[in-house]
Amino acid sequence: MHSFGYRANALLTFALTILALMCAMASFSDNLNSPSPSAEIQILNINWFQRHPDGNDEVSLTLNITADLQSLFTWNTKQVFVFVAAEYETPKNSLNQVSLWDGIIPAKEHAKFWIQTPNKYRLIDQVLQSF
Ligand X SMILES: *[C@@H]1O[C@H](CO)[C@@H](O)[C@H](O)[C@H]1NC(C)=O
Which residues bind to ligand X, rule: CB under 6 A?
42, 44, 64, 66, 114
With residues binned 3-state (H G I as helix, E B as strand, rest as coil), the percentages for the chain, rounded to 5, are: 25, 40, 30
Closest CB to ligand X among residues 60, 64? 64
Q: State the nearest-atom distance from the C-beta of 112 to ligand X, in Å.
A: 11
Closest CB to ligand X among residues 29, 42? 42
CA–CA distance, 32 with 75 (Å, rounded to integer): 12
Cα separation of the two ends of the chain: 87
7, 39, 47, 125 from 65: Cα distances, Å: 61, 7, 16, 22
Residue nearest to ligand X (CB): 64
Q: State the nearest-atom distance from the C-beta of 66 to ligand X, in Å.
A: 4
Q: State the nearest-atom distance from the C-beta of 28 to ligand X, in Å.
A: 36
CA nearest neighbour of 84 among 72, 109, 70, 67: 67
Q: State the nearest-atom distance from the C-beta of 19 to ligand X, in Å.
A: 46
Does an H or E element contain 20, and which?
helix 4-29
Closest CB to ligand X among residues 62, 96? 62
